[in-house]
């Protein structure tokens, strides 16, 4: 027969996993006053996320600028796209990731993966039209995310 301590430990373990799973999926969120979901983060975390978004926008801008040139510099365009790739997501603190709802994390990761795929497409010499179609797909997700979420500090 199992001891009561063993059973209590198992119950606590299962409860802990369930709570962590709930937070991983839902994050730290409340309903925002404008109808969007407000993600509650510390001010420094908010600054970090917004800086990442600005870096992604600069990467898109770099690609678009080159696409507008009569003779696009493919190395510069690849570098711009790669600047928004998966390497940006490598150093995110686990404590911050727990606060972000799963759909937000999924959209963010898909954008980073697609920026790397865009860089690969530049190297493979896809046409400007194909590259713009890739960018349109990505920016559509950006606007969807901005329509769904906002950041608050809970203060």
Rounded-to-integer distance, Cα 19 and Cα 21, Å: 5
Q: Which domain holds residue 38?
A: 4-152
pLDDT at position 55, please?
95
CA distance 59 to 53: 10
pTM: 0.81
- Report d(CA 16, CA 8) in Å as an integer: 12
* Residues 10-26: tens digit of each pLDDT: 667 666 666 666 566 66
Q: What is the pLDDT of residue 97?
A: 86
Counting as low any pLDDT under 50, the low residues of the chain are none
- Taking the C-alpha atoms of residue 101 and residue 49, their distance in angstroms, rounded to an integer, is 14
Question: What confidence score (pLDDT) does residue 21 get?
Answer: 62
CATH code at position 48? 1.20.120
Instruction: Give residue 91's pLDDT.
Output: 76
Q: pLDDT per residue over 100-121, tens digit each?
A: 999 999 999 999 999 999 999 9
Number of domains making up the chain = 1
Strands 149-152 and 29-31: unpaired
């Amino acid at each position: 027969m199992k001891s009561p301590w063993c059973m209590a430990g198992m119950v606590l373990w299962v409860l802990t996993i369930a709570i962590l799973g709930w937070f991983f999926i839902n994050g730290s969120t409340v309903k925002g006053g404008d109808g969007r979901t407000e993600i509650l983060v510390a001010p420094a975390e908010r600054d970090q996320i917004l800086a990442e978004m600005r870096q992604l926008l600069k990467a898109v801008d770099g690609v678009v600028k080159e696409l507008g040139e009569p003779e696009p510099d493919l190395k510069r365009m690849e570098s711009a796209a790669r600047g928004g790739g998966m390497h940006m997501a490598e150093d995110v603190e686990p404590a911050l990731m727990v606060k972000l709802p799963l759909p937000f994390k999924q959209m963010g990761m898909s954008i980073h993966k697609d920026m790397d795929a865009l860089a690969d497409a530049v190297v493979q010499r896809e046409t400007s039209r194909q590259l713009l179609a890739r960018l349109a797909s990505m920016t559509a997700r950006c606007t969807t995310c901005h329509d769904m979420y906002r950041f608050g500090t809970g203060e």
